[in-house]
Chains A and B, each alone.
Chain A
Amino acid sequence: MASLAERPRAVGELADELPISRPAVSQHLKVLKEAGLVTDRAAGTRRVYRLSPEGLGALRDQLETFWNRALDGYQDIAEQPTEERP
Chain B
Amino acid sequence: MTQAADVVVRRQIVVQAPIDKAFTAFTERFGDFKPPEHNLLGVPIAETVFDPQVGGHITDRGTDGSECRWATVRAYEPPTRIVFSWDISPQWQIETDPDNTSEVEVLFIAETSQRTRVELEHRNLDRHGDGWQSVRDGIADDAGWTLYLDRYAALLTAGS
List residues of A whose CB falls within 8 A of some B CB.
1-2, 4-8, 28, 31-32, 35, 37, 50-51, 53, 55-60, 62-64, 66-79, 82
B104 (CB) vs chain A CBs: closest residue: A67
A53-B133, A62-B90 are known; give 20 further A-B pairs, CB within 8 A.
A1-B153, A2-B145, A5-B134, A6-B140, A7-B138, A35-B152, A50-B134, A51-B132, A55-B145, A59-B90, A59-B128, A60-B7, A64-B9, A66-B35, A67-B9, A69-B35, A71-B118, A77-B25, A78-B25, A78-B26
A28 to B154 alpha-carbon distance, docked (Å): 12
* Residues in A whose Cβ lies below 8 Å from that of B15: 74-75, 78-79
Number of interface residues of B (CB under 8 A): 46
CB distance from B21 to the nearest CB of A (A): 6
List residues of B whose CB falls within 8 A of some A CB.
6-7, 9, 11, 13, 15-17, 21-22, 25-26, 29, 32-35, 38, 90, 116, 118, 120, 122, 125-126, 128-129, 131-141, 144-146, 149-150, 152-153, 156
The B interface is mostly helix, strand or loop, or mixed, namely mixed
A72 to B33 alpha-carbon distance, docked (Å): 8
Are A73 and B132 closer than 8 Å at their CB atoms? no
